Amino acid sequence: MSKRMLVGCGVAIAAVALAGLPASGSAQAGTRLVTDLNALVHDPSLQGASVGLVVRKADTGEVLYTNEGTARRQPGSGIKLLTSAAALEILGPDYRFTTSVLKQGDDLYIKGTGDPTVLAANLDDLAAKVAASGTTTVPGKLIADDTWFDSTPLGVGWAWDDEPYYYSAETSALTIASNTDYDAGTAVVSVMPGAPGKAAVVWSDPANTYLTFENATITRGPGLPNTISVERKHGTNVIRVSGFISTGAATTRALTTVKEPTGYVAALFREALKRKGVEVVGPTATRVATPANATLIAEHKSMPLSQMLTPMMKLSNNMHSEALVKAAGRAVAGQGTWDAGLAAMTQRLSGLGVQGPTYLGDGSGLSRFNQVAPDQMTSLLRTVRSKPWFNTWYNSLPIAGVSDRMVGGTLRSRMTGTAAANNLRGKTGTLTGVSGLSGYVTSADGQPLVFSMLSNNFIGSAKAIEDQVGVRLAKYRADEPAEAPNARASVVSTPDLPTNVECSWVKAC
Protein backbone atom coordinates (compact mmCIF):
# COMPACT_ATOMS: atom_id res chain seq x y z
CA MET A 1 0.00 0.00 0.00
CA SER A 2 1.48 3.35 -1.00
CA LYS A 3 2.11 6.26 1.36
CA ARG A 4 -0.40 8.31 -0.63
CA MET A 5 -3.06 5.67 -0.15
CA LEU A 6 -2.47 5.52 3.62
CA VAL A 7 -2.70 9.29 3.98
CA GLY A 8 -5.73 9.55 1.71
CA CYS A 9 -7.53 6.69 3.42
CA GLY A 10 -7.06 8.30 6.83
CA VAL A 11 -8.50 11.56 5.59
CA ALA A 12 -11.37 9.85 3.80
CA ILE A 13 -12.52 7.80 6.77
CA ALA A 14 -12.00 10.55 9.34
CA ALA A 15 -13.84 13.13 7.29
CA VAL A 16 -17.14 11.25 7.03
CA ALA A 17 -19.05 10.48 10.21
CA LEU A 18 -20.44 7.02 10.73
CA ALA A 19 -24.22 6.95 10.54
CA GLY A 20 -26.98 4.39 10.72
CA LEU A 21 -27.55 2.71 7.38
CA PRO A 22 -30.33 0.38 6.23
CA ALA A 23 -29.62 -3.22 7.04
CA SER A 24 -28.69 -5.56 4.23
CA GLY A 25 -31.34 -7.94 2.97
CA SER A 26 -34.49 -7.54 0.93
CA ALA A 27 -37.06 -4.93 1.91
CA GLN A 28 -40.81 -5.61 1.88
CA ALA A 29 -40.40 -9.37 1.49
CA GLY A 30 -43.14 -10.91 -0.61
CA THR A 31 -43.72 -8.05 -3.01
CA ARG A 32 -43.52 -8.77 -6.70
CA LEU A 33 -40.68 -6.27 -7.14
CA VAL A 34 -38.61 -7.96 -4.45
CA THR A 35 -39.24 -11.38 -5.99
CA ASP A 36 -38.11 -10.19 -9.43
CA LEU A 37 -35.05 -8.32 -8.18
CA ASN A 38 -34.01 -11.23 -5.97
CA ALA A 39 -34.08 -13.46 -9.04
CA LEU A 40 -31.90 -11.01 -10.96
CA VAL A 41 -29.20 -10.42 -8.33
CA HIS A 42 -28.96 -14.19 -7.85
CA ASP A 43 -28.86 -14.94 -11.57
CA PRO A 44 -26.51 -17.84 -12.42
CA SER A 45 -24.39 -15.49 -14.56
CA LEU A 46 -23.39 -13.69 -11.32
CA GLN A 47 -22.58 -16.86 -9.37
CA GLY A 48 -19.59 -16.23 -7.09
CA ALA A 49 -19.86 -12.47 -7.47
CA SER A 50 -20.52 -9.82 -4.86
CA VAL A 51 -23.68 -7.97 -5.93
CA GLY A 52 -25.19 -4.99 -4.15
CA LEU A 53 -28.48 -3.43 -5.21
CA VAL A 54 -30.51 -0.73 -3.50
CA VAL A 55 -33.73 0.87 -4.79
CA ARG A 56 -35.40 3.79 -3.03
CA LYS A 57 -38.21 6.21 -3.61
CA ALA A 58 -36.47 9.45 -4.50
CA ASP A 59 -38.96 11.66 -2.66
CA THR A 60 -39.25 9.87 0.66
CA GLY A 61 -36.16 7.65 0.78
CA GLU A 62 -38.29 4.57 1.42
CA VAL A 63 -36.27 1.47 0.61
CA LEU A 64 -38.11 -0.69 -1.91
CA TYR A 65 -35.31 -3.22 -2.21
CA THR A 66 -31.88 -3.85 -0.76
CA ASN A 67 -29.38 -6.65 -1.22
CA GLU A 68 -25.97 -6.24 0.44
CA GLY A 69 -26.56 -2.51 0.26
CA THR A 70 -24.06 -1.50 2.96
CA ALA A 71 -21.13 -3.52 1.59
CA ARG A 72 -18.58 -1.32 -0.16
CA ARG A 73 -17.36 -2.25 -3.63
CA GLN A 74 -15.33 -0.86 -6.47
CA PRO A 75 -17.70 1.26 -8.59
CA GLY A 76 -15.48 1.83 -11.64
CA SER A 77 -16.55 5.06 -13.33
CA GLY A 78 -19.56 5.24 -11.04
CA ILE A 79 -17.22 7.14 -8.70
CA LYS A 80 -17.72 10.11 -11.06
CA LEU A 81 -21.13 10.60 -9.45
CA LEU A 82 -19.36 11.48 -6.21
CA THR A 83 -16.46 13.45 -7.65
CA SER A 84 -18.54 15.48 -10.11
CA ALA A 85 -21.02 16.44 -7.39
CA ALA A 86 -18.19 17.38 -5.04
CA ALA A 87 -16.53 19.42 -7.81
CA LEU A 88 -19.76 21.37 -8.33
CA GLU A 89 -19.90 22.07 -4.61
CA ILE A 90 -16.26 23.19 -4.40
CA LEU A 91 -15.69 24.92 -7.72
CA GLY A 92 -19.22 25.84 -8.79
CA PRO A 93 -20.90 25.34 -12.18
CA ASP A 94 -19.37 28.56 -13.57
CA TYR A 95 -15.77 27.50 -12.90
CA ARG A 96 -13.43 27.83 -15.88
CA PHE A 97 -9.82 26.78 -16.42
CA THR A 98 -7.47 29.43 -17.80
CA THR A 99 -4.46 29.06 -20.10
CA SER A 100 -2.30 32.18 -20.28
CA VAL A 101 0.64 33.50 -22.28
CA LEU A 102 2.88 35.94 -20.47
CA LYS A 103 6.21 37.65 -21.06
CA GLN A 104 8.96 38.48 -18.63
CA GLY A 105 12.34 39.71 -19.82
CA ASP A 106 13.45 37.72 -22.86
CA ASP A 107 11.29 34.72 -22.03
CA LEU A 108 7.76 33.76 -23.10
CA TYR A 109 5.61 31.70 -20.75
CA ILE A 110 2.57 29.56 -21.46
CA LYS A 111 0.86 28.79 -18.16
CA GLY A 112 -1.81 26.17 -17.63
CA THR A 113 -4.23 25.53 -14.79
CA GLY A 114 -5.33 22.06 -15.91
CA ASP A 115 -7.77 22.74 -18.76
CA PRO A 116 -8.47 19.31 -20.32
CA THR A 117 -10.43 20.86 -23.22
CA VAL A 118 -7.67 22.89 -24.89
CA LEU A 119 -7.55 22.17 -28.64
CA ALA A 120 -4.86 22.90 -31.24
CA ALA A 121 -7.07 25.71 -32.53
CA ASN A 122 -6.88 27.37 -29.11
CA LEU A 123 -3.08 27.29 -29.22
CA ASP A 124 -3.23 28.84 -32.69
CA ASP A 125 -5.44 31.60 -31.34
CA LEU A 126 -3.05 32.29 -28.47
CA ALA A 127 -0.15 32.40 -30.92
CA ALA A 128 -2.07 34.84 -33.12
CA LYS A 129 -2.61 37.11 -30.13
CA VAL A 130 1.12 37.05 -29.37
CA ALA A 131 1.83 38.09 -32.95
CA ALA A 132 -0.86 40.78 -32.77
CA SER A 133 0.85 42.23 -29.69
CA GLY A 134 3.78 43.17 -31.91
CA THR A 135 6.08 40.35 -30.85
CA THR A 136 8.05 38.89 -33.75
CA THR A 137 11.03 37.44 -31.86
CA VAL A 138 11.40 35.85 -28.43
CA PRO A 139 15.13 36.15 -27.66
CA GLY A 140 14.95 33.83 -24.66
CA LYS A 141 13.21 30.58 -23.82
CA LEU A 142 9.70 29.27 -24.29
CA ILE A 143 8.70 28.18 -20.81
CA ALA A 144 5.79 25.82 -20.23
CA ASP A 145 4.49 26.45 -16.71
CA ASP A 146 2.53 23.44 -15.45
CA THR A 147 3.24 24.08 -11.77
CA TRP A 148 -0.43 24.73 -10.95
CA PHE A 149 -0.62 20.94 -10.50
CA ASP A 150 2.04 18.65 -9.09
CA SER A 151 4.23 16.52 -11.34
CA THR A 152 2.54 13.18 -10.54
CA PRO A 153 1.01 12.16 -13.87
CA LEU A 154 -0.88 8.92 -13.06
CA GLY A 155 -3.25 7.96 -10.28
CA VAL A 156 -2.73 5.45 -7.49
CA GLY A 157 -4.08 2.01 -8.35
CA TRP A 158 -4.02 2.54 -12.13
CA ALA A 159 -2.89 -0.35 -14.33
CA TRP A 160 0.48 0.25 -15.99
CA ASP A 161 -0.60 -1.54 -19.15
CA ASP A 162 -3.44 0.95 -19.68
CA GLU A 163 -0.98 3.83 -20.17
CA PRO A 164 -0.99 3.79 -24.00
CA TYR A 165 -4.77 4.06 -24.18
CA TYR A 166 -6.49 7.42 -24.29
CA TYR A 167 -8.75 6.76 -21.29
CA SER A 168 -5.62 6.51 -19.11
CA ALA A 169 -3.65 9.59 -20.19
CA GLU A 170 -1.32 11.58 -17.96
CA THR A 171 -2.77 14.46 -15.96
CA SER A 172 -0.97 17.79 -16.31
CA ALA A 173 -1.77 21.44 -15.66
CA LEU A 174 -0.79 22.06 -19.29
CA THR A 175 -2.33 19.56 -21.65
CA ILE A 176 -4.20 19.35 -24.95
CA ALA A 177 -7.12 17.36 -26.34
CA SER A 178 -6.89 15.84 -29.80
CA ASN A 179 -10.62 15.92 -30.59
CA THR A 180 -13.96 17.40 -29.62
CA ASP A 181 -14.60 14.53 -27.22
CA TYR A 182 -11.88 16.46 -25.36
CA ASP A 183 -9.64 13.48 -24.71
CA ALA A 184 -6.83 15.32 -22.95
CA GLY A 185 -3.22 14.17 -23.15
CA THR A 186 -3.70 12.42 -26.49
CA ALA A 187 -2.75 12.66 -30.15
CA VAL A 188 -4.39 11.30 -33.28
CA VAL A 189 -2.33 8.87 -35.37
CA SER A 190 -3.40 8.44 -39.01
CA VAL A 191 -2.43 5.52 -41.25
CA MET A 192 -3.12 5.37 -44.98
CA PRO A 193 -2.06 2.77 -47.58
CA GLY A 194 1.32 3.15 -49.23
CA ALA A 195 2.56 1.47 -52.38
CA PRO A 196 1.76 -2.28 -52.61
CA GLY A 197 4.28 -4.25 -50.58
CA LYS A 198 5.60 -1.12 -48.91
CA ALA A 199 4.99 0.47 -45.53
CA ALA A 200 1.86 2.50 -44.95
CA VAL A 201 2.04 6.27 -44.60
CA VAL A 202 1.87 7.28 -40.93
CA TRP A 203 1.51 10.76 -39.41
CA SER A 204 0.17 12.54 -36.34
CA ASP A 205 -2.38 15.31 -36.17
CA PRO A 206 -1.43 18.00 -35.47
CA ALA A 207 1.95 17.44 -37.10
CA ASN A 208 4.86 17.55 -34.65
CA THR A 209 8.29 16.14 -33.88
CA TYR A 210 7.51 15.41 -30.22
CA LEU A 211 6.22 11.97 -31.19
CA THR A 212 8.26 9.52 -33.24
CA PHE A 213 7.01 6.49 -35.11
CA GLU A 214 8.17 2.93 -35.41
CA ASN A 215 6.51 1.93 -38.66
CA ALA A 216 6.11 -1.83 -38.96
CA THR A 217 3.19 -1.79 -41.40
CA ILE A 218 2.75 -3.40 -44.81
CA THR A 219 0.40 -2.36 -47.59
CA ARG A 220 -1.13 -5.38 -49.28
CA GLY A 221 -3.71 -6.24 -51.95
CA PRO A 222 -7.20 -4.73 -51.98
CA GLY A 223 -10.12 -6.13 -50.02
CA LEU A 224 -8.09 -7.84 -47.29
CA PRO A 225 -8.76 -7.20 -43.58
CA ASN A 226 -7.20 -4.16 -41.91
CA THR A 227 -5.07 -5.26 -38.94
CA ILE A 228 -3.43 -1.93 -38.09
CA SER A 229 -2.43 -1.53 -34.46
CA VAL A 230 -1.24 1.71 -32.83
CA GLU A 231 0.40 1.60 -29.41
CA ARG A 232 2.78 3.89 -27.54
CA LYS A 233 5.79 2.02 -26.21
CA HIS A 234 5.81 2.04 -22.43
CA GLY A 235 7.60 5.01 -20.89
CA THR A 236 8.37 6.68 -24.22
CA ASN A 237 6.86 8.83 -26.96
CA VAL A 238 7.69 6.22 -29.57
CA ILE A 239 4.50 5.10 -31.26
CA ARG A 240 4.67 1.62 -32.77
CA VAL A 241 2.35 1.20 -35.74
CA SER A 242 2.09 -2.35 -37.04
CA GLY A 243 -0.12 -4.63 -39.11
CA PHE A 244 -1.55 -4.72 -42.62
CA ILE A 245 -3.62 -2.21 -44.56
CA SER A 246 -5.00 -2.81 -48.04
CA THR A 247 -4.55 -0.60 -51.08
CA GLY A 248 -7.60 1.57 -51.52
CA ALA A 249 -8.57 1.28 -47.86
CA ALA A 250 -9.78 4.33 -45.97
CA THR A 251 -7.36 6.10 -43.66
CA THR A 252 -7.24 4.50 -40.21
CA ARG A 253 -7.20 6.88 -37.27
CA ALA A 254 -6.39 5.95 -33.72
CA LEU A 255 -5.77 7.77 -30.46
CA THR A 256 -2.62 7.44 -28.42
CA THR A 257 -1.62 8.95 -25.11
CA VAL A 258 1.38 11.25 -24.90
CA LYS A 259 4.10 10.99 -22.29
CA GLU A 260 4.61 14.35 -20.54
CA PRO A 261 1.80 16.39 -22.13
CA THR A 262 3.40 19.62 -20.97
CA GLY A 263 6.29 19.17 -23.37
CA TYR A 264 3.84 18.23 -26.11
CA VAL A 265 1.87 21.45 -25.63
CA ALA A 266 5.09 23.46 -25.65
CA ALA A 267 6.19 21.82 -28.91
CA LEU A 268 2.83 22.51 -30.55
CA PHE A 269 2.75 26.08 -29.28
CA ARG A 270 6.25 26.76 -30.62
CA GLU A 271 5.08 25.55 -34.04
CA ALA A 272 1.93 27.68 -33.81
CA LEU A 273 4.04 30.74 -33.00
CA LYS A 274 6.25 30.03 -35.99
CA ARG A 275 3.22 29.84 -38.28
CA LYS A 276 2.11 33.23 -37.00
CA GLY A 277 5.52 34.78 -37.66
CA VAL A 278 6.91 34.65 -34.12
CA GLU A 279 10.38 33.09 -33.73
CA VAL A 280 11.50 31.66 -30.39
CA VAL A 281 15.30 31.75 -30.32
CA GLY A 282 15.93 29.88 -27.09
CA PRO A 283 15.10 26.35 -25.99
CA THR A 284 11.98 25.06 -24.24
CA ALA A 285 11.83 24.66 -20.47
CA THR A 286 9.12 23.02 -18.33
CA ARG A 287 8.13 22.93 -14.64
CA VAL A 288 9.19 26.56 -14.16
CA ALA A 289 6.77 28.91 -12.41
CA THR A 290 5.81 32.12 -14.13
CA PRO A 291 7.16 35.20 -12.28
CA ALA A 292 4.51 37.23 -10.48
CA ASN A 293 5.50 40.37 -12.39
CA ALA A 294 5.20 38.78 -15.85
CA THR A 295 3.07 40.71 -18.35
CA LEU A 296 -0.10 39.03 -19.61
CA ILE A 297 -0.29 38.92 -23.41
CA ALA A 298 -3.15 36.51 -24.10
CA GLU A 299 -5.39 34.01 -22.38
CA HIS A 300 -7.90 31.31 -23.19
CA LYS A 301 -10.73 30.32 -20.88
CA SER A 302 -12.35 26.92 -21.01
CA MET A 303 -16.05 26.25 -21.21
CA PRO A 304 -17.66 26.43 -17.76
CA LEU A 305 -17.81 23.32 -15.63
CA SER A 306 -21.56 23.14 -16.26
CA GLN A 307 -20.84 22.46 -19.95
CA MET A 308 -17.76 20.31 -19.34
CA LEU A 309 -19.94 17.87 -17.42
CA THR A 310 -21.52 16.72 -20.69
CA PRO A 311 -18.44 15.02 -22.21
CA MET A 312 -17.21 14.07 -18.75
CA MET A 313 -20.33 12.19 -17.72
CA LYS A 314 -21.90 11.17 -21.04
CA LEU A 315 -18.60 9.78 -22.39
CA SER A 316 -17.11 8.91 -19.00
CA ASN A 317 -14.10 11.14 -19.65
CA ASN A 318 -11.47 10.18 -17.09
CA MET A 319 -9.08 13.05 -17.67
CA HIS A 320 -11.75 15.66 -16.96
CA SER A 321 -12.41 13.97 -13.63
CA GLU A 322 -8.76 13.99 -12.60
CA ALA A 323 -8.27 17.63 -13.63
CA LEU A 324 -11.23 18.56 -11.42
CA VAL A 325 -9.76 16.64 -8.48
CA LYS A 326 -6.50 18.57 -8.66
CA ALA A 327 -8.36 21.84 -9.29
CA ALA A 328 -10.38 21.18 -6.13
CA GLY A 329 -7.16 20.64 -4.21
CA ARG A 330 -5.87 23.98 -5.48
CA ALA A 331 -9.10 25.74 -4.56
CA VAL A 332 -9.36 24.33 -1.03
CA ALA A 333 -5.77 23.71 0.09
CA GLY A 334 -3.65 25.61 -2.43
CA GLN A 335 -2.19 22.30 -3.67
CA GLY A 336 -2.94 20.83 -7.09
CA THR A 337 -2.49 17.23 -5.98
CA TRP A 338 -4.62 14.10 -5.83
CA ASP A 339 -4.20 13.95 -2.05
CA ALA A 340 -5.42 17.50 -1.50
CA GLY A 341 -8.20 17.25 -4.05
CA LEU A 342 -9.56 13.91 -2.90
CA ALA A 343 -9.44 15.04 0.73
CA ALA A 344 -11.40 18.18 -0.18
CA MET A 345 -13.98 16.15 -2.09
CA THR A 346 -14.29 13.56 0.67
CA GLN A 347 -14.97 16.30 3.21
CA ARG A 348 -17.94 17.43 1.09
CA LEU A 349 -19.52 14.00 0.82
CA SER A 350 -21.40 14.07 4.14
CA GLY A 351 -23.15 17.23 2.95
CA LEU A 352 -24.08 15.35 -0.21
CA GLY A 353 -25.76 12.55 1.71
CA VAL A 354 -22.87 10.08 1.77
CA GLN A 355 -22.76 8.81 5.34
CA GLY A 356 -20.34 6.24 6.68
CA PRO A 357 -16.77 5.57 5.55
CA THR A 358 -15.92 5.55 1.89
CA TYR A 359 -12.69 5.83 -0.06
CA LEU A 360 -11.83 7.90 -3.11
CA GLY A 361 -8.66 6.65 -4.77
CA ASP A 362 -9.03 8.92 -7.81
CA GLY A 363 -11.65 11.00 -9.57
CA SER A 364 -12.40 8.81 -12.56
CA GLY A 365 -12.76 5.25 -11.35
CA LEU A 366 -9.60 3.83 -12.91
CA SER A 367 -8.19 3.19 -9.45
CA ARG A 368 -8.77 -0.22 -7.93
CA PHE A 369 -8.76 1.45 -4.49
CA ASN A 370 -12.13 3.21 -4.80
CA GLN A 371 -14.75 1.90 -2.37
CA VAL A 372 -18.39 2.93 -2.03
CA ALA A 373 -21.65 1.17 -1.11
CA PRO A 374 -24.94 1.16 -3.04
CA ASP A 375 -26.63 2.68 0.04
CA GLN A 376 -24.23 5.61 -0.14
CA MET A 377 -24.81 6.02 -3.86
CA THR A 378 -28.59 6.15 -3.51
CA SER A 379 -28.32 8.59 -0.63
CA LEU A 380 -26.17 10.87 -2.79
CA LEU A 381 -28.64 10.60 -5.66
CA ARG A 382 -31.47 11.69 -3.36
CA THR A 383 -29.61 14.48 -1.56
CA VAL A 384 -28.30 16.30 -4.62
CA ARG A 385 -31.85 16.80 -5.90
CA SER A 386 -32.04 19.84 -3.60
CA LYS A 387 -28.84 21.43 -4.88
CA PRO A 388 -29.07 24.54 -7.09
CA TRP A 389 -26.88 22.84 -9.70
CA PHE A 390 -28.89 19.61 -9.76
CA ASN A 391 -30.57 20.08 -13.14
CA THR A 392 -27.22 20.71 -14.82
CA TRP A 393 -25.75 17.61 -13.20
CA TYR A 394 -28.83 15.47 -13.89
CA ASN A 395 -28.84 16.46 -17.56
CA SER A 396 -25.19 15.40 -17.87
CA LEU A 397 -26.02 11.77 -17.07
CA PRO A 398 -26.27 9.23 -19.90
CA ILE A 399 -29.84 8.39 -20.93
CA ALA A 400 -30.80 4.80 -21.77
CA GLY A 401 -31.63 4.02 -25.38
CA VAL A 402 -31.05 7.51 -26.85
CA SER A 403 -28.79 7.11 -29.88
CA ASP A 404 -27.16 10.56 -29.85
CA ARG A 405 -23.87 9.86 -28.10
CA MET A 406 -23.82 13.30 -26.45
CA VAL A 407 -27.24 12.50 -24.96
CA GLY A 408 -27.32 8.73 -24.51
CA GLY A 409 -23.61 8.48 -23.80
CA THR A 410 -22.54 5.15 -22.37
CA LEU A 411 -26.20 4.05 -22.19
CA ARG A 412 -27.09 4.92 -25.78
CA SER A 413 -27.13 1.27 -26.91
CA ARG A 414 -28.68 -0.17 -23.77
CA MET A 415 -32.34 -0.82 -22.88
CA THR A 416 -33.45 0.37 -26.32
CA GLY A 417 -37.13 -0.15 -27.08
CA THR A 418 -38.03 -0.76 -23.43
CA ALA A 419 -39.81 1.15 -20.69
CA ALA A 420 -36.42 2.37 -19.50
CA ALA A 421 -35.50 3.98 -22.84
CA ASN A 422 -35.43 7.79 -22.70
CA ASN A 423 -36.32 7.40 -19.03
CA LEU A 424 -33.48 5.91 -17.02
CA ARG A 425 -30.52 8.23 -16.43
CA GLY A 426 -27.46 6.86 -14.78
CA LYS A 427 -23.72 6.50 -14.55
CA THR A 428 -22.09 3.33 -15.73
CA GLY A 429 -18.87 1.86 -14.39
CA THR A 430 -16.73 -0.92 -15.82
CA LEU A 431 -13.41 -2.58 -15.10
CA THR A 432 -12.49 -6.23 -15.43
CA GLY A 433 -14.66 -7.97 -12.83
CA VAL A 434 -16.33 -4.67 -11.91
CA SER A 435 -19.62 -3.28 -13.19
CA GLY A 436 -22.08 -0.72 -11.94
CA LEU A 437 -25.12 1.29 -12.87
CA SER A 438 -26.52 3.95 -10.54
CA GLY A 439 -29.04 6.66 -11.23
CA TYR A 440 -32.65 7.64 -11.66
CA VAL A 441 -35.68 6.03 -13.27
CA THR A 442 -39.37 6.90 -13.25
CA SER A 443 -41.70 3.99 -12.55
CA ALA A 444 -44.76 3.14 -14.63
CA ASP A 445 -46.99 4.98 -12.15
CA GLY A 446 -44.86 8.13 -12.20
CA GLN A 447 -42.84 7.49 -9.03
CA PRO A 448 -39.26 8.85 -9.21
CA LEU A 449 -36.82 6.18 -8.02
CA VAL A 450 -33.11 6.13 -7.30
CA PHE A 451 -31.09 2.94 -7.54
CA SER A 452 -27.54 1.65 -7.43
CA MET A 453 -26.29 -1.75 -8.54
CA LEU A 454 -22.60 -2.50 -7.97
CA SER A 455 -21.15 -5.90 -8.87
CA ASN A 456 -17.62 -7.10 -8.19
CA ASN A 457 -15.69 -10.33 -8.68
CA PHE A 458 -17.73 -11.75 -11.52
CA ILE A 459 -16.43 -13.42 -14.66
CA GLY A 460 -18.10 -12.27 -17.83
CA SER A 461 -20.49 -9.32 -17.74
CA ALA A 462 -23.14 -7.95 -15.41
CA LYS A 463 -24.58 -5.48 -17.92
CA ALA A 464 -27.46 -7.65 -19.10
CA ILE A 465 -28.62 -8.02 -15.50
CA GLU A 466 -28.23 -4.28 -14.88
CA ASP A 467 -30.40 -3.60 -17.92
CA GLN A 468 -33.07 -6.00 -16.71
CA VAL A 469 -33.05 -4.26 -13.33
CA GLY A 470 -33.47 -0.90 -15.05
CA VAL A 471 -36.38 -2.13 -17.17
CA ARG A 472 -38.05 -3.79 -14.17
CA LEU A 473 -37.91 -0.52 -12.21
CA ALA A 474 -39.35 1.39 -15.15
CA LYS A 475 -42.28 -1.08 -15.18
CA TYR A 476 -42.83 -0.98 -11.43
CA ARG A 477 -46.20 0.07 -10.02
CA ALA A 478 -46.93 0.50 -6.34
CA ASP A 479 -50.27 -1.29 -6.74
CA GLU A 480 -48.99 -4.24 -8.76
CA PRO A 481 -50.06 -7.66 -7.42
CA ALA A 482 -47.66 -9.53 -5.19
CA GLU A 483 -48.08 -12.73 -7.17
CA ALA A 484 -45.97 -13.00 -10.30
CA PRO A 485 -46.24 -15.82 -12.84
CA ASN A 486 -42.57 -15.29 -13.68
CA ALA A 487 -40.01 -14.24 -11.12
CA ARG A 488 -37.79 -12.70 -13.77
CA ALA A 489 -37.95 -9.31 -15.40
CA SER A 490 -38.47 -9.18 -19.14
CA VAL A 491 -35.39 -10.22 -21.06
CA VAL A 492 -33.57 -7.26 -22.54
CA SER A 493 -31.53 -7.60 -25.69
CA THR A 494 -28.08 -6.25 -24.89
CA PRO A 495 -25.73 -5.40 -27.77
CA ASP A 496 -22.32 -7.00 -27.95
CA LEU A 497 -20.47 -4.29 -26.04
CA PRO A 498 -17.03 -4.41 -24.41
CA THR A 499 -17.26 -5.86 -20.92
CA ASN A 500 -13.98 -4.85 -19.29
CA VAL A 501 -13.91 -1.11 -20.06
CA GLU A 502 -16.49 1.62 -20.54
CA CYS A 503 -17.79 1.31 -24.09
CA SER A 504 -16.94 4.97 -24.74
CA TRP A 505 -13.29 4.30 -23.90
CA VAL A 506 -13.00 2.20 -27.05
CA LYS A 507 -15.42 4.48 -28.94
CA ALA A 508 -17.99 1.66 -29.12
CA CYS A 509 -20.92 3.75 -27.88
> Where are the chain's structural domains?
3-93+306-506, 98-301
Mapped onto helix, strand or coil, the DSSP state of residue 276 is: coil
Q: Write phi, then psi, for 418 (nearest 5 degrees).
A: -120, 180
Answer whether the bond into residue 206 is a cis peptide, omega within 30°: yes
> Given this model, what pLDDT does residue 504 score?
72
pTM to 2 decimal places: 0.92
**What is the average pLDDT across 408-424?**
97
Q: Across all residues in the chain, what is the average pLDDT? A: 92
Q: Residues 77, 178, 321, 413: which is the catalytic one?
A: 77
List beta partners, residue 455. Answer: 51, 435
pLDDT at 282 over 60: yes
Mean pLDDT, residues 227-253 = 97
What CA–CA distances, in Å, run from 60 to 16, 385, 448, 469? 23, 12, 10, 21
Question: CA 353 → CA 19, 73, 145, distances in Å?
Answer: 11, 18, 38
The string of pLDDT tens digits covering residues 304-333 is 999 999 999 999 999 999 999 999 999 999
Q: Is 438 a catalytic residue?
A: no
According to the CATH classification, is domain 98-301 in 3.10.180.10? no
d(CA 238, CA 232): 6
Give the Å distances, CA to CA, from 315 to 20, 113, 269, 374, 412.
35, 23, 28, 22, 10
Is a pLDDT exceeding 60 seen at residue 16? no
pLDDT of res. 20: 35
**pLDDT of residue 446 exceeding 90:** yes
% of the chain at pLDDT higher than 90: 88
Pick the catalytic residue from 80, 276, 326, 463: 80
Q: 505, 316 in Cβ contact below 8 A?
A: yes
Who's near 190: CB < 8 A, 6+ residues apart?
Answer: 202, 203, 204, 205, 251, 252, 253
Question: Which of the residues 26, 168, 316, 364 is marked catalytic?
Answer: 316
Told to judge if 80 belongs to the known catalytic residues of this protein, a careful annotator would answer: yes
CB atoms within 10 A of CB 486: 9
Superfamily (CATH) of domain 3-93+306-506: DD-peptidase/beta-lactamase superfamily (3.40.710.10)
Catalytic residue flag (residue 379): no
